[in-house]
Structure 1
Amino acid sequence: MKKTALFILLMIAMSTVNAQILTPVRWSYGFKKKSATEAMVFMKADIDEGWHVYSQTVKDGGPIKTTFTFSPSKEFTLVGKTIEPTPVTRNEKTFNMDVSFFERQVIFQQKIKLKNGKATVKGTLEYMTCNDQKCLPPEDLTFSIVIK
């Protein structure tokens, strides 16, 4: 009986901890074909109110900047660097420096040259999110975007 009661308490405690995991950023991916040999890949972050995601241009000594790493492929080549809209920049006391970030939503774009008119673009994304009270640990995500 004691083991059963302990098990039930443990399960309740674990579900409470699990329910407290914060996920203030949701990522989605897409593409738009410009021609048979060119496409634009989109990586979109929807960000909860009060939270922000950092720019790709954050200097050393600050928070973890958003970074996209594309897996090499024979199906496509990258054209230039991943672009982003103009971020908000302000001094953050936590880091004691000016930091650039995005609120609510941001769409990053990467131009690619298709070798055969279609490709599967794979890669990883590293980002960090903070609000005015705390920062969550950096997160690494993998993505795969099928371009037809």
Structure 2
Amino acid sequence: MFYKAQIIVTVWLLLITTVSHVEDQTRFNTPVSYTIEAPEKVRLGERFVITVAFSIEPSWYLYAPIAINTDQGRIPTKVTFKIPNGLKIIGELELPDQNRFYDTYSGDDVRMSQEFQVEKNISSGKQTIKANIIYQTCNDEICYPPVRKTIDIIITVE
């Protein structure tokens, strides 16, 4: 009986180690990359745009941020910004068109853009905007765990 318990514990530990290893690999080898496009310098009163541009490998996709995806338990792609005093978000996040029959994004040019206004009461110098990015990468067989990143975007107000 003791020998049987040892085998069960050994197999269980082996499975846990394997699952952990696979999860660690997926976090570093996801088929999605992104860049952030933002101006380095802005002036008082000026409007500017920050864009998060995703590139998704063929046969993979991201879920669009629409109600049906959330209702069905999918993790929709989300980009939000935390801004310092003296900056103002203008309008809604501009989203790309989703795939026609599916509520997903795919391809090498998926862009989400937000417009900002530099208000007159902001201090000149370096300002930090925090971009919060959440997405889940899937194909027809598997979904990787969601990715949650916070990126500091430094702009200089002149």
Q: What is the CA–CA distance in structure 1 between the aligned matches of 2:105 and 2:74, rounded to whole Å?
A: 10
**Deviation at 1:107?**
1.0
Runs of at least 5 residues in structure 1 that lack an aligned partner in the other structure: 1-12, 92-98
Runs of at least 5 residues in structure 2 that lack an aligned partner in the other structure: 1-16
Q: How does 1:1-148 map to 2 (within 5 A)?
A: 17=21, 20-21=25-26, 22-32=29-39, 36=43, 37-59=46-68, 60-91=71-102, 99-115=103-119, 116=122, 119-148=127-156
In the superposition, the TM-score normalised over structure 1's length comes to 0.71
**Deviations 1:6-33 (CA, angstroms, capped at 9, x unpaired):** xxxxxxx99xx47843311112111248
Which structure dedicates a bigger proportion of its chain to strand? 1
Which structure dedicates a bigger proportion of its chain to helix? 2
Identical-residue share of aligned pairs (%): 25
In the superposition, the TM-score normalised over structure 2's length comes to 0.67
| Higher Cα radius of gyration | 2
**Deviations 1:23-48 (CA, angstroms, capped at 9, x unpaired):** 11112111248x73110001111111
**Deviation at 1:58?**
4.5
**Deviations 1:107-137 (CA, angstroms, capped at 9, x unpaired):** 1100001124774221311111101111111
What is the root-mean-square deviation of aligned Cα atoms in Å?
A: 2.7
